[in-house]
Chains A and B, each alone.
Chain A
Amino acid sequence: MSDHDHTHDHDHPPHLAHHFDTPTQQFESGKLGMWVFLATEILMFGGLFCAYAVYRANNPDVFLYAHHSLNTKLGAINTVVLLASSFTMAWGVRAAQLGQKPLLVVMLALTFLGGCGFMGIKTVEYMDKWEHAHWVGPWNEYHPDHQADESHAEADFGPDAPPENGVLPEDHPAEGSSEAEAAPGMVDQSPAPTGVEQPDRATETAPAPQPDAVAARSPAEPALPQDRVSLIRPAANAPAGLRTEVVAGDDVPVAEAPYPSRETMTPLDRDRTHIFYQIYYLMTGLHGLHVLIGMGLIAWIGVRAFAGHFGPAYYTPVDLVGLYWHLVDLIWIFLFPLLYLIH
């Protein structure tokens, strides 16, 4: 805040907007605004981190298993690339403050190249996933709706798509035992909750009938008809977060065998494996989008720097874009271990 009156008469530095009193005030405002904006960015990613935490906590094995298909080496290289570009960005800001225009331009160019490198490597990774049918949505072999045998899918995944395609016959007894349709690869297009309409799971694990309820009543009260087992799948097979609701006496083993092996996966875990990929794509995709935006911004200030707009008196945009770029970097620093380095 300034303490002197603001009139229009006193000299106005060229970059000072009319409603600010001093360049410092303007610079501070911009910086504050940027920090606040970065807070919103962090919260936006925070939502995805929460989703990640929930699903990882509920399906630790799935995450452990699926992360093996990520290319840690490329991820690590990307981390280094991004860190280096953050460094050149910081150097660029310094150059702007000191009025070293050529250095600033070079540094911005290097940062931009870093962004290109990152996106390039990311593309290689994505292509690889695509080829192995580890892609997003139903184009993921673990997705219940995945269609490997359709013409377009063949074109998509190429002839070398994994033969198993996600469905292990022995885990999936045909749904109505006489039905050929229940064979691997068939898709039920209706939204099909994992719950009741999969009798295979219900019957596999249904606990013995429990006449317990009747037992405790007083003799005066007639018993109620009780004999049948309900259709409800035992809660042990329910999402892990819900296992608190286990029916009394339920002794169904939860898959805790040492992962990972496709063969030992429970059908439930296999159905969930695609979730890891979905989260992977959402997180890295949103992050990649931010990298692209950041690259656009860097290109923009690069051009302005080349035109000599910045100097010790005015370098706010460089500083703000720098902040943004560091945030993009920071988010990757979290993404990398969370996605690539699961133990």
Chain B
Amino acid sequence: MSSIPHNVSTDVYGREVKRQPGDNYLNHSKGIRSWLLTLDHKRIGIMYMIVVLSAFLLGGIFALMVRTELISPGAVLPVGDRAADGAMTDAGMDFYNHMFTLHGAVMVFMFIIPAIPAILGNLILPLMLGAKDVAFPRLNLLSWYCYMGGGALFVYVLGKGVLNAMFPEIGPFTPDFPGLSLFGWQLIPAFEFFGWWTEPGLAGFWGGGGLDTGWTFYTPYSTDTATAVTAAVLGAFILGFSSILTGVNFIATIHMLRAPGQGWYRLPLFLWALYATSIIQILATPVLAITLLLLIAERTLRVGIFDSSLGGDPVLFQHFFWFYSHPAVYIMILPAFGVISEVIAAFSRKHIFGYKFIAFSSVAIALLGFLVWGHHMFVSGQSPVTNAIFSLLTFSVAVPSAIKVFNWVTTMYKGAIRLDTPMLYAIGFLGMFLIGGLTGLFLGSLGTDVHLHDTYFIVAHFHFVMVGSMMFAFLAGMYYWWPKIFGKMYCEWAGRMGAVIVFIGFITTFYIQFVAGSQGMPRRYATYPEMFWTHHFVSTIGAYILGFGLFWVLGTWVHSLVKGRAAPANPWGHNSLEWHTNSPPPHENFAVTPQGSDPYHFDQWHYDPELDTYVLEPTEDQPAPAPGAPRTPTTA
């Protein structure tokens, strides 16, 4: 291991890659414009990575504020005037409501939905297909700008909230305040003449600052609150378009741009997962878009479709919202399934077990996921028959999930397992997804959901599937493809250490929330009865450990970028096509269009202890091209 010169990268045959300027996508061209106007899927992926991780950090900071406030029942964060008895003030409670709402909204719309598809998918999908790019590179860039636009609105909402809190005299805080306002700022003072402009319609348009509706935007609260719902909803709307564009792109790419020999059943499972995800993205997101438009119309024009005082029906909003948002939870988890399939196969050094079942269970989940939205509304007054149907359908989704889990474990059976960082996260994923998914059964079951609905049991359930499963898979994927993306290895022991800290922190934070929830602790509570103090205290301590672990993870990445050893073409010996090119890949991915083959057939790769990497043995019919010739040869 030590014999390898530090900064030498090797190609798939284990030969040194002579680094030249412009030989990979990272240094292919220079300057900020070459990034901001790039059409290269890999660069767009990197740009996504930067902003999505920032969003994650932002959401995480909100999470830590939420947890800090909950460390004891009274007021903790120094917000507003302190009540003498340490009880929570109105300002403190408002603040808490803003925190958890922004936490949920940022995490869902800006982190978890784009995380795997937009970062890893963009970076890896064309490579895995053996393509030069996605089908519509311009749309791809547009999707990033949509993300930025939507994100900017979220940041505006947040910033305005902070400003409002700091300078309450600026800007209208109440929708009753007449005058022309744009972006929540008072442009023209109150003249009678402008009354019509603000009343009763546009006054509430941008609202005040911040957001306190919960990430679910339930009406009539969201049509009623004075916070910046419209701006936030518009942000989510634009983010939705970003998601749709990615989905359209992936579907067209997977259909049209597969390398020769890359049949549907030779697609790595990550691509099947992304394909299924894209189906959901294009079918569900438009419904969210129209829902959010209706909400905006409701706030600005008071059309009353969701407002019972105007003849509308508030529960209809919930139907619309969950028609998108339940499938959206599978937008979050399906790509994670894909990552786990790759990682488990790679680190068990074994062909994945039950390829077709895993592939089709993704599609099954995607389709069945559209039929279960009503399970979020079991206690909203739906008729029992409707409830029963939704409950039954909910359980049908559990079965394909179960299939996947069993197949992964069987893949490990008699493997040659290496517990590198990605694999540690993958094993963590298995356990956490089991708990998260199985607690979904408590919620899908009609009777048990009545008591558990809107308690911390739900909070724990979805953090197990979103953090414990999806985020773990995301980290696994990041570590797994890190060498390919940046051409640098990360420090293995630090990576493992990070995985352990994150795992411990995670379990401490969220397992106890199941207990609190089933004991009756409702969610979205700024204060709580003292009987739940212990639960919350433990959970907060866990959150600090988890936060520390994630910063550690970030540290390992920064360290790798700065000091990491140059990565070989295929450090893990996986056979999917992205490993058939140099690390990092050249601008157009492959010097020669590769041939698709069974991605889980690892035998042709041999471990070279000298180089500490897997290399291809040149064979009779596949001789290695002359050194210095095109960097990436074709393989059979």
Direct contact of A and B (CB under 8 A): yes
Residues A25 and B256 in contact, CB atoms below 8 Å apart: yes
Q: A287 an interface residue at 8 Å Cβ cutoff?
A: no
A-B contacts, CB under 8 A, total: 166
Query: Quick one: which of B224, B249, B294, B593 contacts A6, CB cutoff 8 A?
Result: B593
At the interface with chain A, which of B9-17, B284-292, B448-456? B284-292
Q: Which residues of A lie under 8 Å from residue B257 when comparing CB positions?
A: 1, 19-20, 25, 29
Q: A28 an interface residue at 8 Å Cβ cutoff?
A: yes
At the interface with chain A, which of B104-112, B265-273, B297-305, B344-352? B297-305
Q: Which residues of B lie under 8 Å from residue A36 when comparing CB positions?
A: 247-248, 251-252, 282
Query: Quick one: which of B247, B287, B307, B593 contacts A47, CB cutoff 8 A?
Result: B287
**Given A6-B593, A29-B256, A191-B224, A275–B305 Cβ distance below 8 Å?**
yes
**Most B CB within 10 A of own CB, among A20, A29, A144:** A29
Q: Which residues of B lie under 8 Å from residue A33 when comparing CB positions?
A: 135-136, 139, 248-249, 251-252
Q: Which residues of B lie under 8 Å from residue A1 when comparing CB positions?
A: 256-258, 260
Residues B303 and A32 in contact, CB atoms below 8 Å apart: no
Residues A47 and B290 in contact, CB atoms below 8 Å apart: yes
Residues B311 and A51 in contact, CB atoms below 8 Å apart: no
Q: How far is the CB of A235 from chain B (nearest CB, A)?
A: 12
**Most B CB within 10 A of own CB, among A39, A51, A272:** A51
Q: A298 an interface residue at 8 Å Cβ cutoff?
A: no
Q: How many residues in A have their beta carbons less than 8 Å from beta carbons of B?
A: 60
Cα distance, A274 to B301, chains bound together (Å): 12
Cα distance, A7 to B247, chains bound together (Å): 28
What is the 8 Å Cβ interface bit string for chain B, positions 89-131, against chain A (1 contact, 0 not)?
0000000000000000000000000000000000000100001
Cα distance, A191 to B257, chains bound together (Å): 54
Cα distance, A18 to B136, chains bound together (Å): 11
At the interface with chain B, which of A117-125, A135-143, A172-180, A300-308? A135-143
Residue of B nearest to A54 (CB): B316
Residues B290 and A44 in contact, CB atoms below 8 Å apart: yes
Cα distance, A33 to B135, chains bound together (Å): 9
Q: A271 an interface residue at 8 Å Cβ cutoff?
A: yes
Q: Which residues of B lie under 8 Å from residue A29 when comparing CB positions?
A: 135-136, 252-253, 255-257
Within 8 A of A (CB), among B503-542: none
Q: Which residues of A lie under 8 Å from residue B313 when comparing CB positions?
A: 54, 58, 239, 241
Q: A194 an interface residue at 8 Å Cβ cutoff?
A: yes
Within 8 A of B (CB), among A195-243: 195, 239, 241-242
Q: Which residues of B lie under 8 Å from residue A18 when comparing CB positions?
A: 132-133, 588
Within 8 A of A (CB), among B191-220: 195-196, 200-201, 220
Residues B291 and A193 in contact, CB atoms below 8 Å apart: no
Residues B302 and A143 in contact, CB atoms below 8 Å apart: yes
Q: Which residues of B lie under 8 Å from residue A28 when comparing CB positions?
A: 256
Q: How far is the CB of A245 from chain B (nearest CB, A)?
A: 8
Q: A279 an interface residue at 8 Å Cβ cutoff?
A: yes
Q: A248 an interface residue at 8 Å Cβ cutoff?
A: no
**Given A29-B135, A40-B286, A195–B308 Cβ distance below 8 Å?**
yes
Within 8 A of A (CB), among B217-259: 220, 223-224, 244, 247-249, 251-253, 255-258
Q: B2 an interface residue at 8 Å Cβ cutoff?
A: no
Residues B283 and A43 in contact, CB atoms below 8 Å apart: yes
Q: How many residues in B have their beta carbons less than 8 Å from beta carbons of A?
A: 60
Within 8 A of B (CB), among A3-26: 3-7, 17-20, 25
Q: Which residues of A lie under 8 Å from residue B310 when comparing CB positions?
A: 143-145, 271, 274-275
Q: Which residues of A lie under 8 Å from residue B588 when comparing CB positions?
A: 18-19
Q: B312 an interface residue at 8 Å Cβ cutoff?
A: yes
Q: Which residues of A lie under 8 Å from residue B252 when comparing CB positions?
A: 29, 32-33, 36
Cα distance, A275 to B134, chains bound together (Å): 44
Q: A2 an interface residue at 8 Å Cβ cutoff?
A: yes
Residues A244 and B383 in contact, CB atoms below 8 Å apart: yes
Cα distance, A5 to B594, chains bound together (Å): 9
Q: Which residues of B lie under 8 Å from residue A128 when comparing CB positions?
A: none
Cα distance, A193 to B247, chains bound together (Å): 40
Residue of A nearest to B320 (CB): A47
Residues A44 and B289 in contact, CB atoms below 8 Å apart: yes
Query: Quick one: which of B249, B283, B305, B309 contacts A192, CB cutoff 8 A?
Result: B309
Q: How far is the CB of B303 from chain A (nearest CB, A)?
A: 4
Residues B304 and A5 in contact, CB atoms below 8 Å apart: no
Q: Which residues of B lie under 8 Å from residue A261 when comparing CB positions?
A: none
Q: Which residues of A lie under 8 Å from residue B402 when comparing CB positions?
A: none
Q: B36 an interface residue at 8 Å Cβ cutoff?
A: no
Residues A51 and B294 in contact, CB atoms below 8 Å apart: yes
Residues A2 and B260 in contact, CB atoms below 8 Å apart: yes
Residues A193 and B309 in contact, CB atoms below 8 Å apart: yes
Residues B311 and A40 in contact, CB atoms below 8 Å apart: no
Q: Which residues of A lie under 8 Å from residue B132 when comparing CB positions?
A: 6, 18-19
Residues B283 and A282 in contact, CB atoms below 8 Å apart: no
Q: A296 an interface residue at 8 Å Cβ cutoff?
A: no
Q: B187 an interface residue at 8 Å Cβ cutoff?
A: no
Residues A194 and B309 in contact, CB atoms below 8 Å apart: yes
Residues A272 and B311 in contact, CB atoms below 8 Å apart: yes
**Given A19-B137, A43-B283, A138–B307 Cβ distance below 8 Å?**
no
Cα distance, A161 to B283, chains bound together (Å): 44
Cα distance, A5 to B260, chains bound together (Å): 8
Q: B592 an interface residue at 8 Å Cβ cutoff?
A: yes
Residues B312 and A275 in contact, CB atoms below 8 Å apart: yes
Cα distance, A191 to B223, chains bound together (Å): 10
Within 8 A of B (CB), among A260-315: 268, 271-272, 274-275, 278-279, 281-282, 286
Q: How far is the CB of B229 from chain A (nearest CB, A)?
A: 14
Q: A152 an interface residue at 8 Å Cβ cutoff?
A: yes
Residues A47 and B135 in contact, CB atoms below 8 Å apart: no
Q: Which residues of B lie under 8 Å from residue A47 when comparing CB positions?
A: 286-287, 289-291, 294, 320
Q: How far is the CB of A199 from chain B (nearest CB, A)?
A: 15
**Given A18-B132, A32-B251, A194–B311 Cβ distance below 8 Å?**
yes
Q: A37 an interface residue at 8 Å Cβ cutoff?
A: yes
Cα distance, A191 to B310, chains bound together (Å): 8
Q: Which residues of A lie under 8 Å from residue B593 when comparing CB positions?
A: 5-7
Q: Which residues of B lie under 8 Å from residue A169 when comparing CB positions?
A: none
Q: Which residues of A lie under 8 Å from residue B291 when comparing CB positions?
A: 47
Residues A137 and B282 in contact, CB atoms below 8 Å apart: no
Q: Which residues of A lie under 8 Å from residue B383 when comparing CB positions?
A: 244
Q: How far is the CB of A17 from chain B (nearest CB, A)?
A: 8
Cα distance, A239 to B316, chains bound together (Å): 12
Q: Which residues of A lie under 8 Å from residue B244 when comparing CB positions?
A: 37, 40
Residues A137 and B248 in contact, CB atoms below 8 Å apart: no
Cα distance, A5 to B592, chains bound together (Å): 8
Q: Which residues of B lie under 8 Å from residue A2 when comparing CB positions?
A: 260
Residues A271 and B311 in contact, CB atoms below 8 Å apart: yes
Within 8 A of B (CB), among A35-50: 36-37, 39-41, 43-48, 50
Q: How far is the CB of B218 from chain A (nearest CB, A)?
A: 14
Q: How far is the CB of B459 from chain A (nearest CB, A)?
A: 29
Cα distance, A141 to B297, chains bound together (Å): 18
Residues B287 and A144 in contact, CB atoms below 8 Å apart: no
Q: How far is the CB of B287 from chain A (nearest CB, A)?
A: 5
| 15 more A-B residue pairs beyond the given contacts A51-B294, A144-B310, with a C-beta to C-beta distance below 8 A | A1-B256, A5-B260, A5-B593, A19-B135, A32-B251, A36-B251, A37-B244, A43-B283, A43-B284, A44-B286, A47-B290, A55-B305, A239-B313, A268-B311, A275-B303
Please, could you name 8 A-B residue pairs with CB atoms under 8 Å apart, sorted by A? A1-B256, A33-B139, A33-B248, A36-B282, A40-B283, A41-B286, A145-B302, A272-B311
Interface residues of B (CB under 8 A from A): 126, 131-137, 139, 195-196, 200-201, 220, 223-224, 244, 247-249, 251-253, 255-258, 260, 282-287, 289-291, 293-294, 297, 300-305, 307-313, 316, 320, 381, 383, 588, 592-593
Interface residues of A (CB under 8 A from B): 1-7, 17-20, 25, 28-29, 32-33, 36-37, 39-41, 43-48, 50-51, 54-55, 58, 136-138, 143-145, 152, 156, 189, 191-195, 239, 241-242, 244, 268, 271-272, 274-275, 278-279, 281-282, 286
The 9 closest A-B pairs by CB, nearest first: A137-B301, A47-B290, A44-B286, A19-B132, A278-B303, A152-B196, A272-B311, A19-B133, A43-B286
